[in-house]
Each structure stands twice: as structure tokens, then as C-alpha cells.
Structure 1
């Protein structure tokens, strides 16, 4: 039997599950969901195809289009009530040739470095860019040094993620502005290029890409921006401690093209009691192009797809409409999330809850929740149901970039929070690949998401319609 024959297995299992789920307690239903995911999950094999048969899915690319068509077809196999594509115009940035870089020691020795262009950057001249390097750790140092010290040079932002912060997300947020806004700030003082330390706690030779922007800078003032690996950043910094006149050469041929048409992929199970109240679960279908995007965010995509499959497999008929949304263009524009929210508002759709997975396929620890105190307390009432699965993190906080535009004064948003200690080892780098994902951890995440969706649908929140059993 073909291992991708979803429908046949699903129908067989559903016959068994439908007999028992109606009389189950919440504890028993959650156990049914976890058993279904761990014994008969499909997230891992869907991810296998996304990662290995398609690969990196940069917005506007051929691979992104292949991913749209593949996930739509797989959702259609699940027997959902509706599956469709939502058009959205997205930016198209092309990396071009593999980037090269090296610096020159005082004796003329050429030392190669591992770099990659930041997403959205302009190219260097065709022969590359060569200039003296000046190292800073923050924007205030640029101001202190001034134009006399910076003009005509390449600014090297050497800002490590703070290792003693247990929350790696907090460590990341403390550095990400140097990647995104580094060029804009450096241009103010006459810099001709920017090299940014990769945002990773791991010491290795892999540069990590990511989005950067030029704000309202005219095209003629935009300077090329690249990331340098952590090992090479450390080495270059050591050299600069004793030699001030170090020159760096790097070359990149990236291009920003015209926007192109792409799609959010959407599937839904219509609610039996309150079909006009929407619960969304999703991740982003696009990824960066250095690896295959397995953790960021192939994992979130396939987990979200499996939520709807696991609900059906476990014999659960949702009372509210459950939608899976695979958002396009989170990485370099957030166009998919914004378009979905715009259309929802235009149609007057009442989105009572949204859950996003966008922190990799690692072991789930719990949820970060955007909610009123009253709705947050409702979620805490369910915490004991997750205890047997070692899910203990239920905290007020952020949710997810794609679902963020849906937030209003009454609804609830949440983000799956896996163990994040290894996430930034892979984030936006060439080692974000399928072999870095553990099947069991991925399936535990899918079950955790499904269980929360089940409970939200069953009990609702303060703003939801009361369920009449």
C-alpha cells in the first residue's frame, strides 16, 4: 500500500474512533488525539515531500508554487468541506550566484569567509565590493564614530545573541534589528556595505540569511548587505583588535524582481453549530532558500494540516468552523497573513481563535497566548489535560506573525512553543533540512495543537457563543 494513501487509512480509523469519541471525557479525547498522531500521523511524510521533493520555497519561486499545488492536493484528499487558494501578490527576490567573501591580512594573505546575501539586499558591483572594515556592536557606536570614521567603509555588525538568556526568542529579538535595519543606519554615515553576524547561538561556518529593508532610501543610496557565519565573525573580530586597516571583499548577485502572484492555501471543516465562528490553525508555506525550510516553517505547515486530519480521525465533529491556513510570504513581507486578515474583515468573518506554529518541529512545551485575563484563565483550566504529555508552558505573550493581523479586542491568538534551544542553530541557514527534524517530536507538536483546537472549539471563550450539548 502506498504510504501516502491518506484517505484509505483515515476512513478505516475514523470508523473506530467515531464509535468511542462521543462518550469520552476530555482526558480520554486528548489521549485519543495523541495516540492517533503518534501511531498514524502524516505530518512527517508530508514534510518529507515538502523538503526533499520540493525544497526551499522562497516567495515567488517555482518551488513555492509547487508547494502551493502539493498542499492543496493533499488537503483535498482529506475530505474537508472546502479547500481553496487565496490569491496574494508577493515580492520576488532572487539570490543569484553563490556569494563569495574574504578579507586581507596586513601581509597580503587572503582569508576566505562564509557569507550569504540578506533577503532584499541589492547586489554588489559585478566585480564585488572591496573596502576597509569597521566593527560595531550597536547603532549607538555608529553615531559615536561618525561619518569621518565610517564613510567609504564596510560596517561589520558583530552583535552576538545573548547566551545567558534562557529564552532564545528573547536573545534573537535583541539582535534582529541589526540585520533588518543595519544598512539604513550605516548609510547615514556614508558606509558602502554591511556585514552582519549571523543570528545563531551555535559556533559554526554557516551564514544565516533573513529579511532586511531599506525603508524609504532611494535606489541609488542602497548598499549591499550580507550575513557572516559566527566562526568567521569571531575570527574577523580578533584580527581587527590588532589591525585596523583590514579590507574585506565580497560579491553577491542578488536581484529584487517585480511582485508575482501566489496564494495562501486554505481548507476547512464547517462547524455543526456555529459555522460563522472561525478557528484558524496555520504556519507559513514559504521559506528561505539556503536549506529546505523543514523547521522554518515546513514543520508548522504539516502540523497544521494534520490538525484537521486528526480531528476527523479522532471522530470529532467541530461545532465551530476550523480552518487550516498555509500562509505565503511570511519571511520577507507578511503579505499572506495581511491578505487573509483583510479578506476576513471585508467579509465580516468572526475569527474567535487562531493558533500558529512557527518555531520549528522540536518537542512541544506549551503555548504563548494573546488574550484577555478572563480568556487566559479559561485556557489555564485545561492545563492539567496536557500534563501527562509534559506540556507545561502556558504564558501570556506573543502568538505568531501570520495570525497577528487577525487580532482584535475580543479574540484569542496563540503560538505553539516548542523547546527553542536548538531552533536558531538551523534558522535561515543551510542546515534547516529534513534530517534535522525528529519524527516523534513533530507528531507530538501536531497532537498538542489538535488538542488545544478541540478544547477551544468545545468550550469557546467569553466572546464565543455558548455551546448547547
Structure 2
């Protein structure tokens, strides 16, 4: 009995010692990020010197060259490019939108949805049919829709605490709505911007048309514009209320681009990888600061902190600047394809693509209840002093999603306070000035802390 109690005491002391060591390392990680962090200055360069980085654009190529050079200057063990062909869609001349109410014309802010075709040179004018869902549209059918402009006007559901869920619930009208409307004979589509905020900024974002299907021009309208159009439609309920819009976008042949990968090679298991990443491309309306410049510079910072602190990971750690998340996802697919081809083993991947706001924690995709309980039991207390301790089941990110082919890989989403994100997302407001330095660097530290814990102790 005495020997058993002694064994229990030794085990308890060992666990306590390891926990104490982890706590000290996490404190040093946060000190490095908050005192010597480079995330903010790197983000400023990305936003102000390079700017919008839509796939296939010269700015996207410039961002590839810059991030590769930056990684090399930090002295990472490996820095390399992964070639991938990406869509090359261009917006062209600024869009025009007008509500036509009898003899009155009211200008409203619109922007073309990514991958939409242009209107005819003179634009489109047609009667408007307002719907709240794809199901409502299909019930109306071709007889009611043919020759009309479909106006999708489903707002965010304010009851969701996590705004990403509201975005997901409203998003199908933008992702899939234009294709459904085209099938029913519509001549164009206007979609309410995906935000709860009431303002005059239209929110772009991609829409998808199945291969070989009919394509029609599709644009986002600002929430104030959507409310104005809806009010007039309810008031008149007649063909006298029409909508006019003109856009000049086009899709060019696919362009060559790259993922940019930096690596610190593991000392014990060099062929087992922990990936951190975000997407290097952005929409063309602004600087892509929160979406996803912050994720890019935070992922870079994880490896920089390791180097600055002289830490040698057991497993190889990669920072990946994924290309083409916004309108194709080709970079994420290519990364997983090459990982399989090279017979790599991926044990975890973390994506930062929710903005550079205050850290809240992490969500773990497709893990068991036992695993999430163990994660909380082992790590919640360590992360609590840094307010990054919400560790729960949930999604990860679209760029790392293809890594699900690795059965042992745990896919993780970095989560922040999301309340302001969709006020900025995909708008001209997504600029460097709207990122808070301290929030950004706290996020980089939180990601580094989790990478360290995974590297030292594993997850499953």
C-alpha cells in the first residue's frame, strides 16, 4: 500500500512539474509576442505596400514573393512554394445600381459577386421579385421568375451569439442563389449583403455556377439599399418598381500562383507536421486586413516566436500562406494533395480566418467527447490567464479542411470575438486601420501556445 501511495505521489509530482514548465513556456511566448511581436508591422506592409490580393492578380504574386522573402529572412529551416493554378476573375469598372420607381431613379450601392459574369454593356433593367430563401424562389417557379431580377433579402438572424453562424445561415442566397435563379429564367440577381450592420457598404464574396449551367449577372446590395428596395416593393407591389444595374467583370484564363510554406523541422519526428495558416489572397475592394491578412501574419509569427525563443519542436511546424481561399480553394486542395504524394503525416492543423480580434479559444473538428474533455482537462487552466481557454467542438477552416484525408489529423479553428467581423468582411472597410495591434499579437501568442502544447503532448 505504501509503495502504491508513493507511486501516486511521484506521478502527481511529475504531472505538476510538467504543468509548471508548460506554464512558464506559455508566459515566455506571450512576452515575446507582446514585447517583440512583428505581426502588426508585417500586416501594415502587406496592406499598405501590396494591398488587395485577388487570386491571379499582380498583387497576389507580389504577396507571394514578399512572404517568401520574409520567411527566408527569419531563417526558417525550409521555405518553398507550391504551384497551383487559380481562377482569375476581375471586377472592371465600378458597378452602378439604381432603383427605378416610376419616373424616379434612386442610386444604391452595389458590387458584383465574385465569379459573376458582366451585364450587357447597357446594363439590365427589369421588374424585381423579392424572396427570403431559395425554397421560396423554387416554389414561385419559372412562370413567376422568368425575365425578372431576383432580390434575395434574408437578413442575418440576430439570435446567434456567434456571428459566423448567422453568416452561415444566410450565406446560401449568395453562394447558390444566382445559379438557382438562372435555372428558373431570371435575368439577374441582387443579394442583400451578409452582415447585420445597417450601412452603405455592399459586401462582395463568391457565387457558384455549376459547370455548364446558365450564368447570370449577380451583385450584392448594401443593407440600407436592400431595406429601401424592399420598402418600395411592399408599397407598390407592381411592375412600376424596377431595378437597374451594370457591372463589367469578367473571368480570364486560370493563372499560375503559389502557396508559400515556411517550416521549422522537427527534432524527433520530422515527417510529422503541425500546420498553422491563413489565406494570402483577398477580395479586391480593400486591403484584406482582417480577411485574411491577420491570419497570415499570425501564422508567420508562430514560427518567428519559435526561432526567437530558441525552441526546438519535436514535430515539424509549418506556416502556410494558402492561395485562392476566396474564390476557389485551390491552395488548400494543393497542399493536401502534395502532402499525400510526399507521404507526410499530419497530426494537427490550425487555421486563422476569422479576423484579428480578441482571442477567445479554439474549436476542434470531428473529435470525440472524450478527446475534447481531455483537451480541457489538460490545457484549459494553462490558457485561462490569457483568456484563450474556450476549447470546444466545432469547425476549423476551409484551407485546412482537405487535410481531413489524414485520419490522425486534428483540424482546429482559431476563434476570436466575432461581433465586429461581418461589419468589415468583404467590404472597402477591411483596411489596416481597423486592426488593433494588441488584439492581433495576443492572437499570435495564443496560436503559438497551442502549437507548443500539441507538439509537446499530442492531442489524441
TM-score by length of 2: 0.93
Where does residue 411 of structure 2 map in the other structure? 413
- The answer for the alignment partner of 1:211 in structure 2 is 206
1:13-51, Cα deviation, whole Å (9 max, x unpaired): xxxxxxxxx997111110101111011100001100110
**Counterpart check, 1:304 vs 2:299:** yes
In structure 1, what is the equivalent of residue 448 of structure 2? 450
In structure 1, what is the Cα distance between the partners aligned to 2:373 and 2:344? Answer: 25
How far apart are the structure 2 equivalents of 1:378 and 1:32? 24
1:290 to 2:285 alignment? yes
Deviations 1:313-360 (A, max 9, x none): 223110110011100000000000000000001111000010110000
2:233 corresponds to 1:240: yes
Which position in structure 2 is the counterpart of 1:57? Answer: 53
Q: Does 1:395 align with 2:392?
A: yes
Alignment of 1:47-446 (within 5 A): 47-106=43-102, 108-218=103-213, 221-243=214-236, 244-245=238-239, 246-370=241-365, 371-380=367-376, 381-407=378-404, 408-446=406-444
User: Aligned to 2:277, what secondary structure does the other structure show?
Assistant: strand
Separation (CA, whole Å) in 2 of partners of 1:378 and 1:335: 34
Counterpart Cα distance in 1 of 2:132 and 2:459: 45
Gaps of 5+ in 1: 1-21, 463-469
User: Structure 2 CA distance, aligned partners of 1:152 and 1:292?
Assistant: 37
8 A contact 1:154–1:191 mirrored in 2: yes
Q: What's the CA shift for 1:374?
A: 4.3
Q: 3-state SS of the aligned residue for 2:205?
A: coil
- Give 1:116 shift: 0.3
| Counterparts of 1:84 and 1:188, CA distance in 2 | 44
Write the deviation string for residues 132-187 of structure 1: whole angstroms up to 9, x where unpaired: 11100011221232222211110000010101211111100011111011111112
> How many pairs does the alignment contain?
438
In 2, the alpha carbon distance for the partners of 1:139 and 1:87 equals 37
Cα pair distance change 1:23/1:410, threshold 3 Å: closer
Q: Distance in 1 between matches of 2:116 and 2:310?
A: 49
Q: Tell me the distance in 2 between the aligned counterparts of 1:62 and 1:378.
A: 46
1:23–1:143 Cα change, 3 Å: closer
Report if the CA contact (8 A) 2:118-2:246 is conserved: yes
139-148 or 74-83: which moved more? 139-148
The superposition leaves residues 65-92 of structure 1 with CA deviations (integer Å, 9 ceiling, x where unpaired) of 0000001000001111110111011000
Is 1:205–1:231's contact at 8 Å kept on the other side of the alignment? yes
In 1, Cα distance between equivalents of 2:64 and 2:173: 32
Q: CA RMSD in A?
A: 1.3
CA contact (8 A) 2:52 2:285 kept: yes
* TM-score normalized by the length of structure 1: 0.92
Question: Residue 290 of structure 2 aligns to a residue in which SS?
Answer: helix
The CA deviation string for residues 350-375 of structure 1, in whole angstroms up to 9 with x for no partner, is: 00010110000000000011234444
Residues in 2 aligned to 1:296 and 1:323: alpha-carbon distance in whole angstroms: 20
Please tell me whether the aligned partners of residues 201 and 425 of structure 1 are also in contact (alpha carbons under 8 angstroms).
yes
How far apart, CA to CA, are the structure 1 residues paired with 2:399 and 2:116?
23
